[in-house]
């Protein structure tokens, strides 16, 4: 073999070896990088799962909660509805005040049962723990100190929401729930609270010129008996915004825990579950120009009561039935945001401008229930139910 041939062979072997080493180096580097990326991703996931963050309740209480919250337990029905609104209907409720979750609620929020398939109750510490709930929220009186300790020992955070009397209170609650859920929920909560306050302001502006205000009273009808509310209830705020005078605003509670605004752990609609008891004499003496009740059964009971035929509202067929979709409007509820302008349209129609109740309901359900309802469904909601859901 010539010397030139030998040199060529040596050069070829050297190039081949260099290429092989280069390829091996690239391959080894890529594998190392992938391994490092996977390890980093896993560490990040583990860190997120173990991390916490702090939310601040309206009363200033700071509570540590998991960084990612996917399971919550609102202790009253109104907060369950607001939770579904704020979460865009996602299956985040793992336990709830189940006696206040109606079939209509489940129909409008179909993912509710996906989150709580076993029907766990938020009034039971054992149910809450069994459900895997991460955060419970509601009035502090719902649980004893021992029960709160039991929740804490099980790793379940409790966030107090004690003020639920006014629109501002409920908007604050909605935004706090948004903070608890995280992700897109804070933005949805802010959008909802802005809408709620806006509806109140729109009604105030529409009725600003009213000098001779119409009088009204609420007559809730349950188990054959009537109850009403005073100035501490959110409906009083709606009445005032709509240019109305609540004739029972100054009526006092008969006993501790009935009606009112902030206390009471069981009521789905208002602070105390029962309201202020009314008899026929009290209704006749108040003699309002308008009455609003919670169901068509309630209207029938009022209209057919011989002792009430001289009451202005009944004599003039001015008895309104509260609309009801997933939740009754005339209690503290998300759908209650629609009450002020609806009242204006019913009592001062000339001042309602271009407001259209059917369109308003359809828009609300699209924006906050993610449900494109029909005109017929909206009309059914506006007509109210034969009997209202439990408070």
Residue 241 in tokens: 């915004």
Rounded distance between C-alpha atoms, residue 276 and residue 73, angstroms: 29
pLDDT at 274: 57
* The residue to which tokens 């896993």 are assigned: 42
pLDDT at 17: 41
How remote is the C-alpha of 146 from its chain's centroid?
28
| pLDDT average per 10 residues of sequence, the chain (391 residues) | 40 40 36 38 51 95 97 97 97 96 94 97 98 97 96 98 95 98 98 98 98 97 94 97 97 55 36 73 97 97 97 98 96 96 98 97 96 95 82 47
Helix ranges restricted to H, 135-181: 145-153, 167-181
* The residue to which tokens 């005032």 are assigned: 240
pLDDT at 360: 98
Domains of the chain: residue spans and CATH: 59-196 (3.40.50.1980), 208-383 (3.40.50.1980)
Residue 28 in tokens: 């080894």
pLDDT at 196: 98
Cβ neighbour number for residue 129 with a 10 Å cutoff: 17
Rounded distance between C-alpha atoms, residue 239 and residue 260, angstroms: 16
DSSP structure class, residue 260: -
Picking from 93, 95, 71, 78, the residue whose alpha carbon sits closest to that of residue 143 is 95
> How many alpha carbons fall within 13 Å on the CB side of residue 154?
20
pLDDT at 275: 86
For the chain, state the CA radius of gyration. 30
pLDDT at 253: 72
pLDDT at 389: 59
pLDDT at 6: 41
């Amino acid at each position: 073999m010539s010397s030139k041939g030998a040199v060529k062979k040596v050069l070829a072997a050297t190039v081949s070896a260099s290429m092989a080493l280069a390829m091996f180096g690239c391959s080894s580097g890529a594998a190392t990088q992938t391994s490092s990326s996977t390890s980093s991703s896993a560490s990040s996931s583990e860190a997120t799962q173990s991390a916490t963050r702090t939310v601040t309740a309206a009363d200033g209480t700071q509570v540590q909660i998991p960084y990612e919250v996917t399971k919550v337990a609102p202790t009253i029905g109104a907060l369950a509805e607001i939770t579904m609104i704020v979460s865009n209907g996602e299956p985040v409720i793992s336990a709830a005040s189940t006696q206040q979750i109606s079939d209509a609620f489940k129909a409008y929020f179909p993912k509710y049962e996906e989150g709580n398939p076993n029907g766990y109750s938020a009034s039971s510490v054992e149910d809450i723990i069994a459900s895997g709930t991460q955060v419970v929220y509601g009035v502090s009186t719902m649980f004893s100190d021992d029960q709160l300790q039991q929740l804490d020992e099980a790793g379940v955070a409790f966030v107090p929401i004690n003020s639920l009397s006014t629109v501002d209170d409920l908007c604050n609650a909605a935004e706090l729930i948004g903070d608890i859920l995280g992700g897109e929920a804070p933005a949805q909560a802010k959008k909802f609270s802005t809408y709620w306050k806006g509806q109140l302001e729109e009604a105030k502006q529409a009725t600003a010129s009213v000098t001779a205000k119409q009088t009204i009273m609420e007559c809730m009808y349950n188990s054959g008996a009537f109850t009403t509310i005073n100035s501490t209830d959110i409906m009083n705020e709606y009445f005032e915004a709509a240019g109305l005078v609540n004739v029972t605003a100054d009526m006092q509670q008969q006993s501790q825990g009935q009606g009112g605004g902030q206390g009471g752990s069981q009521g789905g609609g208002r602070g105390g579950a029962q309201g202020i008891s009314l008899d026929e004499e009290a209704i006749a003496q108040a003699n309002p120009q308008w009455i609003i009740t919670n169901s068509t059964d309630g209207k029938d009971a009022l209209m057919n009561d011989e002792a009430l035929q001289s009451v202005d509202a009944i004599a003039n067929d001015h008895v309104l039935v509260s609309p009801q979709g997933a939740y009754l409007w005339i209690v503290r509820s998300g759908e209650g945001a629609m009450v002020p302008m609806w009242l204006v349209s019913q009592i001062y129609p000339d001042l309602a401008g271009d407001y259209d109740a059917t369109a308003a309901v359809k828009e609300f359900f699209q924006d906050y229930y993610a449900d494109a309802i029909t005109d017929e469904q909206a009309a059914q909601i506006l007509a109210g139910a034969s009997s209202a859901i439990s408070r």
